[in-house]
Chains A and B, each alone.
Chain A
Amino acid sequence: MLDPRKTIVVTGVGVVSPYGIGMDCLQAGILSGKSCLAKTKDMYPGFEGSTAHVGSLPLAAKDSMHRYSRSDRLAMLAAEDAVRGFDSESAAFRESGVIMASTVAGLSEIEPEIAQDPEAWYRHDGGLLRAASYPAAHVADAVGEHLGIDGPRCAVSAACASSAMAIALAANILLDDAAPMMLAGGSDALCPFTLSGFNSLQALDPEPCRPFDQNRKGLNLGEGAAVLVLETLDRAMARNAKVLAVLRGWAMTNDAFHSTAPQTQGNGLADCMRLAMEMAEAGCDEIGYVNAHGTGTPLNDIAETHAYETAFRERIHPVPVSSTKSYFGHCLGAAGALEAAITILTVRCGALLPTLRLTDPIESPSVNWLRGEVVRQTLPLAMSVSAGFGGSNAALIFGSAHS
């Protein structure tokens, strides 16, 4: 029996994805199997690759006082979507906290010339305000100000595991009773800085990515944002909120292995999944689906496969796994939250999503690589897994509202 004061539930999910704004767009797009990845040439001269764009945003980049980066605006729209129908005048809403992850934040607003003469750049074309959006904390502030939320605000930076960690930390804050409700997620815009960075590391596949395929060549970048509204079950029940899912378990670990490469056997990630299952008091057979980190890079996908083999070693049947980065790329600091939203979607509609373009999967006796058609199946529990540069790992386990 779950203790309502210690049970964290999801009462709102807002997303901005390359499919559009809202969970309905995401659900329709992803269930149809549509890939948003397309060839792009205009990100900077000489760049040719596959990316997934959100398109123009229905929110101004500046008002009389502030300038909002694209990551800020993606986050503000996702947060607005997450709290649609909430009583924004209530004390609980006003005292809520915001934890937002971003790796790009305001980097999209800054041009290379800043490095040569910062003072001149600040004095030109609103440079001072544009640079003010640089700190990652600006995204949480933008969300808080946009919605009139006054509680604790915080940014999380753990590379590509950032927004999964934001959700985990928000859950801790709720257990501490430090806020009545938490908005947690991540947001990242496509920009030349990150495209150039990953390109310089030779981590990009110029074609649409093929996670977990033996012929995978790298990742594609996408953009988007997702925000979950979390609260304790007793508070949600007290205000008659609709519970969308239960956050049954969460865990964070580090590989302590290499500054960019994952630990080759996936030990840190396997530990992370084990700890999340322990918190959820779930056996490994109870996890009906894993939304993988699955970037499509040679190193990540093999290490991640080893991690599944370790974490799910005692399962009777192979664990069903897919990477939804094959639909709209890797959204970096937003990836963990977007994939948490998709994991909640799979629990709610009982749909196991396939990895697109997975024709020749890595051989693993412990993993059931989902490919081809959507599989319909009741899912009591599903897991979302994230990892990132610096050895960061995070795992979240969601259960159905009836669990």
Chain B
Amino acid sequence: MSSNLAAITGIGSVSPYGPLGGLIQPRSLEPESITAWTTAGLRRAFVMKPFRPANVVPGLKTRRLDRLSAWALVASSLAIQDAGIDLSSMDRSRIAVVFGTGFGCAELTEAFYQSAAVNGWGGTDPSPFPEGLANAPASHVALWHGLRGPNITVGSKGLAGESALIQAASLLRHGQADLAIVLAGDTLTRAIYQWYEVAGLLSPACYNEEPLPEGDGFVPSEGVAALVLEPAGRQEARAYAHFSSGRWAARGDAAGNIREMLGGAVPSVIICAGQGAPCAHGSTPALAREIGDSSAVIVAPQAVAAGIADAGAFLHLILALSGRPRGGQALLLSTLGDRGFAALLLELP
């Protein structure tokens, strides 16, 4: 295995499955009624049940934080614990945090707008302002764990998680960090949900207590997933997978680009991580069938992960790894139709 590979040695997540360290045991989830705000009739989504972060990570204080920051703290702590890392014995100036998000701290941004609506711009509440910045979650992860390496928050339409992983691996490759906590996530707020609704993007399952239909809109979701990424080779570490290489682009010949990256390699598993409507007939599975040979196992997009705005890739990966795919190479694949694609090549143990 090439020394350029980066190992994923820890996993943590805060998702509709709950706050969990390591892989998520697969079980089906149904959307739930939204109760966080008043809705006109039944509205459903995959929502994170309220929990006290301090019950999961003792000592954590999150009262003034956006939920995205609180979840990033919990997910990162669970991932570090899962990796078996003792941060106190490490040079924390060499540990990076890279966070991928589409909407950032939308909850506190809305709270700031709310204070402007009530009091005018001249009377806004200062507390949500800095905490509403998109980089607040990554900053809190650094602050809580004492991580003084590069601290970067990225967004990329539909591909924020993929972008974060590619750039974190780049930091390791170029010696700018020795280890990276890589996170991806988004929260669901009233303004985000209603944007999807007015834009006509929601699945009928958001309005009926019926099983999820294939295709035809999506069910919004929320959560943060964290991965510990480190150079391959730490003796005591067990790796879930090794990140080998990645490609992402806004347009162009996705299949040709990905084949070029694969260089003749044939992935045994293709994990479809498309955003939006999770259906076996969507554009990501179609691209997977175009790229993979007949023996490749194609893992369809998972509704719970596909609904997490721009940042569902890691949850897709965690769910797929939970299925214990046999060794070989796995491709984490996302396409947004003609609006871009990302492909991450992973070596499975």
Contact = CB atoms under 8 A, between A and B. Distances in A.
Interface of A: 43-47, 95, 97-98, 103, 107, 110-116, 118-119, 122-123, 128, 131-132, 134-138, 140-141, 144, 149-159, 162, 165, 169, 172-173, 175-176, 178, 192-193, 195-201, 251-260, 268, 271, 388-392
A68 B68 CA distance: 27
Contact of A152 (B117, B126, B248): B248
26 contacts: A45-B122, A112-B116, A112-B121, A115-B111, A118-B195, A119-B197, A122-B194, A122-B195, A128-B199, A135-B102, A137-B155, A150-B249, A150-B251, A152-B156, A157-B104, A169-B154, A169-B167, A172-B171, A176-B170, A178-B166, A196-B116, A196-B121, A254-B147, A390-B136, A390-B142, A391-B142
Interface in B89-121: 92-93, 97, 102-104, 109-114, 116-117, 120-121
Interface stretch (B16-24, B127-135, B221-229): B127-135
Contacts, number: 222
A111 B114 CA distance: 10
B238 interface: no
A199 B126 CA distance: 8
A192 B157 CA distance: 26
Contact of A131 (B174, B195, B250): B195
Interface in B230-258: 247-252
Contacts of B135: 157-159, 162, 388-390, 392
B80 to A, nearest CB: 15
Contacts of B191: 114-115, 118, 131
Nearest to A263: B148
A262 to B, nearest CB: 12
Q: Name the residue in B116, B131, B145, B310 with the highest tally of chain A Cβ atoms < 10 Å from its Cβ.
A: B116
A256 B148 contact: yes
B190 interface: yes
Contact of A391 (B103, B143, B195): B143
A201 B130 contact: yes
Given A136-B155, A144-B250, A201-B126, 20 more contacts: A98-B250, A115-B110, A115-B114, A116-B114, A118-B194, A119-B198, A135-B103, A135-B104, A137-B157, A140-B156, A154-B163, A158-B151, A158-B153, A169-B154, A169-B170, A173-B167, A192-B121, A254-B148, A256-B145, A390-B151
A93 to B, nearest CB: 13
B217 interface: no
Give the interface size class of chain B. Answer: 35 or more
A111 B110 CA distance: 10
Contact of A253 (B149, B163, B190): B149
B72 to A, nearest CB: 12
A368 B131 CA distance: 35
Contacts of B146: 256
Contact of B120 (A46, A114, A118): A46
A44 B122 contact: yes
Contact of A128 (B120, B173, B198): B198
Q: Name the residue in B150, B197, B247 with the highest tally of chain A Cβ atoms < 10 Å from its Cβ.
A: B150
Interface of B: 92-93, 97, 102-104, 109-114, 116-117, 120-122, 124-126, 129-131, 133-136, 138-140, 142-143, 145-157, 160, 163, 166-167, 170-171, 173-174, 176, 190-191, 194-195, 197-199, 247-252, 310, 340
A156 B198 CA distance: 28
Contacts of A114: 110, 113, 191
A391 B151 contact: yes
B143 to A, nearest CB: 5
A202 to B, nearest CB: 8
A392 B150 CA distance: 8
A168 to B, nearest CB: 8
Contacts of A141: 157, 250
A269 B55 CA distance: 35
A260 B102 CA distance: 22
A137 B102 contact: yes
Contact of B147 (A134, A138, A256): A256
A152 to B, nearest CB: 5
A252 B129 CA distance: 24
Contacts of B120: 44-46
Contacts of B198: 119, 122-123, 128
B143 A197 contact: no
B139 A253 contact: no
Contacts of A271: 93, 148
Given A95-B252, A134-B103, A176-B170, A256 B142 contact: yes
B157 A153 contact: yes
Contact of A115 (B102, B117, B199): B117
A188 to B, nearest CB: 12
A141 B163 CA distance: 14
Given A44-B122, A253-B149, A259 B143 contact: yes
Nearest to A144: B250
Contacts of A176: 170, 173
A189 to B, nearest CB: 15
Contacts of A159: 133, 135
B112 A47 contact: no
A390 B166 CA distance: 23
A154 B152 CA distance: 12
Contacts of A154: 154-156, 163, 167
A193 B142 contact: no
B156 A155 contact: yes
A197 B142 contact: no
Nearest to A175: B174
